[in-house]
Amino acid sequence: MEETYLLNVEGVKKKILHGGHGELPKLQDGSKITFHFQTLKDDFERTVIDDSREAGIPMEIIVGKMFKLEIWETLLSSMRAGEVAEFWCDTIHTGMYALVSRGMRRIAEGRDPLEGQKHRCGMGNMFDYHSTGYDDLDELQRMPQPLIFIMELFRVRGTVGMAASVERAGQAVQLLLPTQVEEPSAYKRDTWAMSKEEKLAAVPVLHSEGNRLVLRREFAQAAAKYQEAVICLRNLQAKEKPWEDGWLKLESLVTPLVLNYCQCQLELGEYYEVLEHTTELLQKHNDNAKAYFKRAKAHAAVWNEREAREDFLRVAHLDPSMAAAVKKELKQLGERMRKKHVEDRKRYQGLFQSPSGP
């Protein structure tokens, strides 16, 4: 896996997931770029916002036709045919994404992407709308944020061919007819490109790989495996109604993976990462003793004595079988805090002590 920064482009980070072939494309006005894409939030679960594969057809943009998300031309121009790459883009490049996505979704639904839209610039239309009609896009519109784009470049053609044009949307987006779709390049399938069945099958494999890496004390690599498994499950959960049977079954698989991830982060000294994810887990499952235990250890590590004691005592209340472990941790916490207080007193005395005369 190769990682690099695109030259002369502020706020963009590129990671190559699968190398392409041939030379970099020489784009000119009228060139048509065919590609699949997936848009994700830059969060722990890498929440999927859009996925062209779900529509079953790739996307096209035409160079020089003022596509509203200008950074995409830059990203695609850095790719070779058959390449799969992941791009992290800062907020300076993603502010228009909600409007672009709104149009693409309407096209995929067979609706007019210009429905109710005035012929004004993109920013003007953004202020016209109280809502895009999609809750997740409304959130992006209210609070622009960095996004991750995973792209697979199929081909670049010098001239515009026959396709189902929707250029009237003012977005220069075209959807290829099914007979024109080229087969994706052969590469190791990442979870972003997996079907529901493949994701479900991948979870126990990733879980097992993570456990194996923990036994070898390769905690960073193990954490990455657990995180990838969580991403698979969260993507599937997004298609279920919260707290109904399907969602709950997936949540029961997510919880131990998040706890394993947090244990790895404890070993790596990433205590605030542990605090964040255990707190999020406990907001949904406030009776999970293991989550309280890991959070307590993280609090103790960053000298949050009161919070650590509260969490440790909560563990003993929820799971009496962990009482001995809690007693040991509380004893260690007390010893560490006493030692810290002694060191602090010595330090402060040294700061305020008058220098001795000759």
164 falls in which pLDDT band (50, 70, 90)?
very low
Asked whether the CA dihedral 273, 282, 213, 187 is positive or negative, the reply is: negative
- Contacts with 201 (C-beta within 8 Å, 6 or more apart), sequence order: none
Q: What is the pLDDT of residue 129?
A: 44
Q: Can you tell me which residue has the tokens 């996925």? A: 51
Q: Quick check: 190 pLDDT over 90?
A: no
* Domains of the chain and CATH, by start: 12-157 (3.10.50.40), 196-336 (1.25.40.10)
**Whether 223 contacts 268, CB under 8 Å:** yes
pLDDT, averaged across the chain: 79
Condensed to tens digits (0 to 9), the pLDDT of residues 83-140 reads 999 999 998 888 888 888 888 888 777 665 555 544 444 444 433 445 788 888 988 8
pTM confidence score? 0.57
Phi, psi of 41 (to 5 degrees): -75, 155
Q: Is the pLDDT of residue 152 over 70?
A: yes
Per-residue confidence (pLDDT) for residue 113, from 0 to 100? 52
Beta bridge partners of 171: none
Closest-CA residue to 184 (of 213, 140, 151, 229): 151
Strand partners, 176: none
User: Per-residue pLDDT averaged across 271-287, rounded?
Assistant: 94
The amino acid at residue 334 is: G
Res 182: pLDDT: 33
